[in-house]
Amino acid sequence: MIDRRTALAGVVAMFGAGVFAPIARAAQASAAPAISEGPPSVAVFTPAQRALVTALSERVIPTTDTPGAIAAGVPAYIEKLLADWATPGDRVPIVAGLDTVEARSVLDYKVPGVQATPEQQDALLTLAMNDALPGGKIFFEAFRQMVITGYYTSEIGITQEREYLPVPGEYNGAFPYSQVNKVYSA
């Protein structure tokens, strides 16, 4: 089975130079000692922010015919990444972005972000993506990268969303594309 650090290195290559700094640090095996498997070393989010991270993560990678971000443990991964690999300065745009999304949800929909409908949460994320919220673009880019990285380096992302084949078999240069069911990762 592929380990998370190897998968992280692939994600860093995918995002290129614009990768969120804590993800890049975590992918560099020699940059720092291994992090424990337990809970985050410090609490990064308030309970309300943690609930919003959970709700928004599921909007970035929702449950469909495969499990979504929540089932893959992405919210816990994000907090662990921010607690153990991020500097305090790295956390600022994420925490500020969550607070901005929360405030906009209350202003526009009269409910906390976690109680907003999925469509309303999508609209809030779209506002952030389009930089229509203060610091929205910075928040959205980093948040989306953490969700994607957390998902595709999880066991669910590697084995259920994609199909892991350590040795994919024989080469067939004339394999019909219509018979491809999943994208393979190795």
Average pLDDT, consecutive stretches of 10 residues, N- to C-terminus, the chain (186 residues): 54 59 64 63 93 97 93 94 89 96 97 97 97 95 93 85 66 75 63
Q: Look up the pTM and report it.
A: 0.74
pLDDT at residue 6, as a whole number = 59
- Tokens linked to 65: 């015919």
pLDDT at residue 164, as a whole number = 62
Helices and strands in the chain: count of H runs, count of E runs: 8, 2
What residues does 185 pair with on adjacent strands? Answer: 164
Cα–Cα dist 139/92, whole Å: 9
What residues does 184 pair with on adjacent strands? Answer: 163
> What does residue 164 show for φ and ψ, rounded to 5 degrees?
-90, 120
pLDDT at residue 161, as a whole number = 75
Closest by Cα among 5, 15, 9, 13 to 145 = 15
pLDDT at residue 125, as a whole number = 97
Residues 24, 12: contact at Cβ < 8 Å?
yes
Residues 132-152, buried b or exposed e (16+ Cβ, 10 A)? ebebbebbbbbbbbbbbbbbb
Residues 71, 160: contact at Cβ < 8 Å?
no
- Helix, strand, coil shares, percent, the chain, to 5: 60, 0, 40
